[in-house]
Chain A
Amino acid sequence: MLYFQKWKLALVALVVGAGLVFAAPNLMSRDKRDSLPDWWQPLSLGLDLQGGSHLLLELNTGELLKDRLEGVVDVVRGALRAERMRYTGLGVKDEAVVATILGDEAARATARKAVRNVIPNADIDVDAEGKLRISYGEKARAEMLEGALSTTLEIIRKRIDELGTREPSIQRQGANRIVVQLPGVSDPKRAREVIGKTARMTFHLLDGETSVQDALKGRVPPGSMLLEGMDAGAKGQKTYYVVRKKVEVAGEHLVDAQPTFDQSRPVVSFRFDALGGRIFGKVTQENVGRNLAIVLDNKVVSAPNIRGPIMQGSGVITGGFTVQGANDLALVLRSGALPTSITFLEERSVGPSLGADSIKAGMIASLVGLGLVIVFMAAAYGLFGLFADVALIVNMVLLIGGLSGIGATLTLPGIAGIVLTMGMAVDANVLIYERMREEVRNGRSVLSSIEAGFGRAFATIFDANITTLVAGALLYQFGSGPVRGFAVTLSLGILSSMFTAVMVTRLQVYLWARRKRPSVLPLPV
């Protein structure tokens, strides 16, 4: 009777030992834990506890498609011209590229073939009236988005790495979103600016024949466009430029950009690849005396005068930058342009002082909660209550060790989960002890009551806890951020409390009973 199998004893020793090992780094000094391997680290603190920023951003899917279609228009125009086809009304309409091919059946077939050759993965349709329609189906759009998302992820990662943030986390969420977490950054203003810039740079010639006044009245020639300037004018009013639509050199050719100084003003120097350098050389050679506008995300950074041909494939961008402005521009140009613009959907940031306050509050709440429950159990059950208290402390060690071991992040609601676990964990002990009391009242012997208490209460404990686990799992699945942390703590707490109540308490009670051979059950019978 009251035999505690050897393997169970070994299991308890193993689990408690593992719990202690995994919980240990939480008590170590910072230097010490930095020298530990990755799998043996303390609990990482959530952004709400250590301070930091959480940004959720979304790719503008509509714009992505529109840009792609506009690109298709140019390609189709080239292809049709190369075949000497006649057509009208080429443009983007209702998420498709449309045109009307003039001519007979043969002309339509040629047009179709020509377009197919240059636009491989789109749906291409030419009807009997010569109406051409090029569109992208679900699958092609999904692929487009997938490509854009992974490019964006990569570029954002590069930009953030250059900002020098400690341990940033950049992850995709769903089909078109990215979550950026920056521990220790409590004001994400600069990060936002650097991440959020599309950084699409192009070089255009200034349209010298059209005055800004005329353009502002709506008289813009077909081959030109009116763009805002990046800097406000002297009195803070907006500045405008009329530039040629034709892209002389595209930003894809940039291979490097660095902040530097020109006559003690911050500027950005850049370098083109070989092809870009040749194009740039040709443009500058042919247009000496004219102005070349540097356009970034549809705004004119500056439009310097071309004083002579620039053949070495590099140059500088001037434009009233601050030192940080020049740094940031160089940074985003180096990392490359985002495939499409992005929108910030959500931003949460916590300053370090609030984080520290939260940790303190959480510690106090935990200790007070633990103390209250310990006293309560001892008062209610005497010696057996103390056994339950030991199990509770072991439970806490296992919970902290478990959370550290799986690399969970401790959040403020997660701390609430730990405190709540303390209150609910002793339920299993209560069920067991109440069962013992009943069994003794029903006339069983002390030892047999003890055994029955553990045996019979187990099914109840199991069913009751599984249902709570179900709630925890759903909380994890549908929760976000800190709430997920809470779900993990609660669920792990349930598992560890089942283990400690059943095994650790049982071990203590059995050892005690074997030594003392009690004639009365030390419970309020």
Chain B
Amino acid sequence: MYHGMKFLPEGMRIDFVGKRLIALGMSIVVIVGSMVLLAVHGLNFGIDFAGGIQMEVRSTEKVDLSGLRGKLNGLGVGEIGLQGIGGTGREVMIRIPAFDNETVQNAALKQVREALGPSFEDRRTEVVGPKVGGELVRDGLLAVSLAILAIGAYLWLRFEWQYGVGGMLTLLHDVTATMGLFSITGMEFSLTSVAAVLTIAGYSINDTVVVYDRVRENLRKYKKMPLAELMNLSINEMLSRTILTSGTTVLSVVAIAIFGGEVLRGFALALIWGVIVGTYSSIYISLPVLIYFHLRNTDAVGALEEEEPSRP
């Protein structure tokens, strides 16, 4: 009978924790880089947050983009962006930046619709006033911050405070790195992107909790083992699971990226990045934090180098 396959050799003992300084350096570069990018370059806010008008229209015949561009920009309702989509040459995405108030915006939409005429079918229209956009930004930030705090609090209750701090730092790391991805690629940041960020937070913390759980179990089992070595053992024991779960998750997300259509592509790409970052951070961020916050008072940080490792 087929018993499945082994993804890793027996008794793998990779020294993850020993490399923590390298990893930490790398993370700092990514985090600082992301923050600088966010500050300087910012996010390409989609209509949900920036406000404005976005229309997807389909014509009965092939669209002359530059002609349509000239015609629409001649209306004097702001700088109208046009982009062919879908590969048939008949579908066009029209973007009009935000207006000062809702009344002007609604009038602009009317003008554009009239200029397009009856040969265009409205596939999708989104009109977001400046007021709502600001509120959505606030709600999004609130949701992400509260999620991080709530998850930290849960870990503190179920484990110990060090795990709570570790979990929150891990989440901050992942969220920042994901926002960095949005900034550097210029991918549109929309409401769906907030959903992606929160999903990544959920996935990452799931991964972290699984490793924390093993750390806690091993702490009870090997009372004398140096902390660093115990961490290494815990990660290695869970490594096969980490790889398999990341694998199935990435598979399903790739299916969304390839077949899920235009709207979900950005979402799926962010999630693929999130699975990578989340897996990395549950090993390299969440565990070293436990060491630095003295999870076990008797242990020194450098215990691994000083003591002879002993396995029962």
Which residues on A are within 8 Å of B, measured CB to CB?
Answer: 48, 56, 58, 186-187, 189, 343-351, 353-354, 357-358, 361-362, 364-366, 368-369, 372-373, 376-377, 379-385, 412-413, 415-416, 419-420, 422-424, 426-427, 430-431, 434, 437-438, 441, 459-460, 463-468, 470-472, 474-475, 477-483, 486-487, 490, 522-525
CA distance A487 to B208 in the complex (A): 21
* B245 touching A426, Cβ below 8 Å: yes
Q: A305 CB to closest chain B CB, in angstroms?
A: 34
B106 within 8 A of A: yes
Which residues on B are within 8 Å of A, measured CB to CB?
Answer: 1-7, 10, 56, 58, 102-103, 106, 109-110, 113, 121-129, 131-132, 136, 139-140, 142-143, 146-147, 150-151, 154-155, 158, 167, 191-192, 194-195, 198-199, 201-203, 205-207, 209-210, 213-214, 237-238, 240-241, 244-245, 247-256, 258-261, 263-264, 267-268, 271
Q: A368-B259, A479-B143 are in contact. Are A413 and B127 (CB under 8 A)?
A: no
- Using Cβ atoms and an 8 Å threshold, which residues of chain A touch B109? 347
Q: Nearest CB to that of A58 among chain B residues?
A: B131
Q: A147 CB to closest chain B CB, in angstroms?
A: 23
- Using Cβ atoms and an 8 Å threshold, which residues of chain A touch B128? 345-346
* B206 touching A345, Cβ below 8 Å: no
Q: Nearest CB to that of B192 among chain A residues?
A: A413
Q: A376-B248, A483-B192 are in contact. Are A470 and B121 (CB under 8 A)?
A: no
Q: Nearest CB to that of A354 among chain B residues?
A: B123
Q: A350-B124, A361-B260, A474-B146 are in contact. Are A376 and B251 (CB under 8 A)?
A: yes
- Using Cβ atoms and an 8 Å threshold, which residues of chain A touch B2? 382-383
A187, A189, A420, A482: the one contacting B191 at CB < 8 Å is A482
* A471 touching B198, Cβ below 8 Å: yes
Provide 25 A-B residue pairs closer than 8 Å at the C-beta atoms, listed in order of the A residue. A353-B58, A354-B56, A358-B261, A361-B260, A369-B251, A372-B255, A382-B2, A412-B261, A413-B195, A413-B264, A419-B252, A419-B255, A420-B252, A423-B249, A423-B252, A424-B203, A426-B245, A434-B244, A464-B210, A467-B209, A468-B206, A472-B202, A480-B139, A522-B4, A524-B4
From B140, B143, B249, B255, name the one whose CB has the most chain A CB atoms within 10 angstroms: B255
CA distance A494 to B210 in the complex (A): 15
Q: A472 CB to closest chain B CB, in angstroms?
A: 7
* A467 touching B205, Cβ below 8 Å: yes
* B1 touching A382, Cβ below 8 Å: yes
Q: Nearest CB to that of B250 among chain A residues?
A: A423
* B123 touching A430, Cβ below 8 Å: no
Q: A378 CB to closest chain B CB, in angstroms?
A: 8
Q: A168 CB to closest chain B CB, in angstroms?
A: 18
CA distance A525 to B155 in the complex (A): 32
* A347 touching B125, Cβ below 8 Å: yes
Q: B57 CB to closest chain A CB, in angstroms?
A: 9
Q: B110 CB to closest chain A CB, in angstroms?
A: 8
Q: B185 CB to closest chain A CB, in angstroms?
A: 19
- Using Cβ atoms and an 8 Å threshold, which residues of chain B touch A420? 199, 249, 252-253, 256, 271
* A464 touching B4, Cβ below 8 Å: no
* B249 touching A430, Cβ below 8 Å: no
Q: A471-B199, A474-B146 are in contact. Are A412 and B264 (CB under 8 A)?
A: yes
- Using Cβ atoms and an 8 Å threshold, which residues of chain A touch B136? 480
B5, B209, B247, B250: the one contacting A524 at CB < 8 Å is B5
* A474 touching B5, Cβ below 8 Å: no
* B125 touching A348, Cβ below 8 Å: yes
Q: Nearest CB to that of A484 among chain B residues?
A: B195
CA distance A264 to B244 in the complex (A): 76
CA distance A354 to B54 in the complex (A): 15
- Using Cβ atoms and an 8 Å threshold, which residues of chain A touch B191? 479-483
* B195 touching A475, Cβ below 8 Å: yes
* A463 touching B255, Cβ below 8 Å: no
* A385 touching B4, Cβ below 8 Å: yes
Q: A47 CB to closest chain B CB, in angstroms?
A: 10
- Using Cβ atoms and an 8 Å threshold, which residues of chain A touch B158? 463
* B241 touching A430, Cβ below 8 Å: yes
Please provide the 7 A-B residue pairs with the shortest distance between their CB atoms, ordered closest to farther. A423-B252, A361-B261, A369-B255, A478-B143, A471-B202, A468-B202, A423-B249
Q: A357-B261, A380-B7, A470-B150 are in contact. Are A423 and B195 (CB under 8 A)?
A: no
